[in-house]
Homo-oligomer: A and B are copies of this chain.
Amino acid sequence: MFELHPQLQSDTAFIADWALSRVLLMDDARFPWLILVPRRESLQELHDLTGKDGELLVKEVMRASRSLKSLVRADKINVGALGNLVPQLHVHVVARKLDDVAWPHPIWGCGTPVPYENSVRDVLIEGLRDKL
């Protein structure tokens, strides 16, 4: 039984369920930031995935990365699976711009998230559902 970690639940908005992953939007208006969570029980490390699920995950990460980059005209995509704070396996796919507040540093641990205004978030979620 897959259950989303409460911290991920409270930090994100739901976009879609793909073949393997739940796709979430991080509620941080500073960076267009997706999180992919493989919908399997008790995963912590990438290497906990089966070979087949590993192939699915990389396909979904590449899809999210390519679509997000073109959708928000990003300069670079950062991909990371850390899990030091939230143990449930999840992969960050973050659109970076040369003028964002953290560039060229990683976004993890950079300042405090700035929640979207509700109307902006709703429009973004619509666009992501349509385009990803």
| A residues lining the B interface (CB < 8 Å) | 44-47, 49, 51, 54-55, 57-59, 61-63, 65-66, 69, 76-85, 96, 103-106, 108-109
Docked pose: A120 CA to B80 CA in angstroms: 29
Q: Which residues of B contact A59 (CB under 8 A)?
A: 51, 54
* Residues B77 and A79 in contact, CB atoms below 8 Å apart: no
Among B47, B79, B82, B85, the residue within 8 A (CB) of A62 is B47
Closest 10 pairs between A and B when the two form their complex, measured CB to CB: A84-B104, A80-B80, A58-B58, A47-B66, A47-B62, A47-B65, A54-B58, A79-B81, A106-B108, A55-B55
Docked pose: A86 CA to B76 CA in angstroms: 11
Docked pose: A46 CA to B68 CA in angstroms: 13
Contacts A49-B62, A51-B59, A65-B45 given; indicate if A80 touches B83 (C-beta within 8 A). no
Among B55, B65, B83, B105, the residue within 8 A (CB) of A76 is B83
* Residues B77 and A80 in contact, CB atoms below 8 Å apart: no
Contacts A55-B58, A109-B105 given; indicate if A81 touches B80 (C-beta within 8 A). yes
Q: Which residues of B contact A78 (CB under 8 A)?
A: 80-84
Q: Which residues of B contact A49 (CB under 8 A)?
A: 62
What are 17 A-B residue pairs whose CB atoms fall within 8 Å in the complex? A45-B66, A45-B69, A45-B76, A46-B65, A46-B79, A47-B63, A47-B69, A51-B59, A54-B58, A55-B58, A58-B58, A76-B82, A78-B82, A78-B83, A79-B81, A80-B80, A84-B96
